[in-house]
Chain A
Amino acid sequence: MERLASDAIALRLQSVRKTFPGGVEAVAGVSLDIKAGEFLAILGPSGCGKSTLLRLIAGLDSPTGGSVELSDKLERGRIAYVFQDAHLLPWRNVLRNVALPLELLGIPKQKRLASAREALERVGLGDALRRYPAQLSGGMKMRVSLARAMVVEPRILLMDEPFAALDEITRQALDEQLRNLWLKERMTVLFVTHSTAEAAFLADRAVVLTRRPGRVVTDIAVDLPVERTGPLRATAQFAGVIRLLYEALTKGGA
């Protein structure tokens, strides 16, 4: 992984390729510049290599071609990853689950528990610290997972269809909460989804990938107000963005 000199660009992908042993080509030459503080949605059909792309950016896997370059300013541990399901440790309570990343990074106990408490406050779970994952609803688990990502004060937040398993109402509430968190923190977010509505509501920019092997077909600026709340979903402007995304997705072979 190389480092970028510029501050304005958080992340640069140059002809990134990933072919798995056995010959499955997941990503075929993706080039993207992602600005610092940008909320980017990555939209595409199932199996278009969206998850692979996030794993490459997180450094959990290495590309077979091209390069992933991160900003110089990015310190260790400041990339966070939110998975499709909450993936909490069932033997730890909510507070200790959220403190885990800081614990692994070697932050002292008092400090990491204070940070975890604060992160849980931010996702509205300040009163559930001592509960265990088995006692939480799906939406609450996902919020704990989000708090676990936020606790490291990430500069880059990678989200892999995080709300896909939730019901529509919970999902919309979490979308709104995430957008507000981003407005306050202004971290760079890469949000993978296959929902055009979710991409439209959350992102300022959306890229559409083709079916496997993934390639960028369209790069769309989402022209919507910065502050977004529920009623926006019913506007013609919102419908217009969704139509734009839908057309791009269809063109991509979805």
Chain B
Amino acid sequence: MTRKQRFVSTVLPPVVVLILATAGLELAVRIFQIQPFLLPAPSRVAGALWKYRDELAISLWTTAQAALIGFVASAVFGILLAIPLSAWPLARRAFYPYTVFFQTVPIIAIAPLLVIWINPGLESTATCAFVVSVFPVIANTLTGMLSTDPALVDLFRLYDAGAWARLWKLRLPSAIPSIMTGLRIAAGLAVIGTVVGEFFVGLLGEAEGLGVRIVAANKVGKTDLLFAAVLMASLLGLAMFAGVNLAAKLLLRHWHASEKDT
């Protein structure tokens, strides 16, 4: 397959689905004459996107900052925490249950508290993003580091490798594929966490992020604006996911014969 053919065969199918689904929705809304405040037609959403483009751009930027800060904090903290947990079984037994806690916390319940405790604004929304996205990083890094090839561990022991060499030259690089899986999940979750945090920031009058926009649009029945904001949030999550994917591709380009450049 040439580069062009491969591009067409991977990009074309989802694009066709998108066009068909959008057209179907447009048609259904018109035929059944659904009220715009219940379900706006895609054309109306597109109209809202254009009409409110300045406000939405500001909102997108606000949300993107918080989601990125939360995501980077999750990546750094998650990996740094997983290293000692992987090295010491006792530490793992002592702390791992509490990292699971991060995943089971219903963010919707604690977000209002975080907003009050920290500050309504970037700090609290980034914290929400961090809380929901840190667990997959810890869990996946840990899995990766604990499943290092035992034969290679033996090889390192045979040549008297110290703890530092084992970590840097074996355990951490072995875990990269798993770490990347964790980061892919964390990227999407960080955006969700931020938007949820913003719901409550909005209640306190700081009108900026996409979440704030969503709540405000909902109150006044501007469902088309609501959908436009949701779309922006999804695209933001998608962009962050794509960024992690690109990083993974660069880091792992030699690992699999399938990913080498042709």
Contacts and interface: CB of A to CB of B under 8 A. Distances in A.
Contacts of B169: 89, 100, 103-104
A214 interface: no
A58 B153 CA distance: 13
Most buried by B among A80, A81, A89, A135: A89
Contacts of A59: 158
Nearest to A76: B160
Contacts of A81: 154-155, 158
B161 A104 contact: yes
A138 B84 CA distance: 36
Nearest to B150: A87
B151 interface: yes
A238 interface: no
Main secondary structure on chain B at its contact with chain A?
helix
Interface in A192-212: none
What is the size category of the interface that chain B forms with chain A? 20 to 34
Contacts of B55: none
A15 interface: no
Nearest to A136: B257
B173 A85 contact: no
Interface string A7-30: 000000000000000000000000
Nearest to A59: B158
Interface string A75-107: 011011101010101110100000011011100
Interface in B117-132: none
B260 A77 contact: no
B160 A93 contact: no
Contacts of B185: none
Interface string B235-262: 0000000000000000010111100100
Interface string A46-81: 000000000100111000000000000000110111
B165 interface: yes
Nearest to A86: B151
A134 interface: yes
Describe A's contact surface by its main secondary structure.
loop
A182 interface: no
A18 to B, nearest CB: 16
Interface of B: 149, 151-152, 154-161, 165, 169-170, 173, 176, 252, 254-257, 260
16 contacts: A55-B154, A60-B157, A77-B160, A79-B158, A81-B155, A83-B155, A87-B149, A89-B173, A91-B173, A91-B254, A91-B255, A101-B155, A104-B165, A132-B254, A135-B257, A152-B159
Given A81-B155, A90-B255, 16 more contacts: A55-B154, A76-B160, A79-B158, A80-B158, A87-B149, A89-B170, A91-B176, A93-B254, A101-B155, A101-B158, A101-B159, A104-B156, A104-B165, A132-B254, A132-B255, A134-B254
Interface of A: 55, 58-60, 76-77, 79-81, 83, 85, 87, 89-91, 93, 100-101, 103-105, 132, 134-135, 152
Q: Which 3 residue pairs of A and B lie closest in terms of their CB atoms, listed nearest first?
A: A104-B159, A132-B254, A134-B257
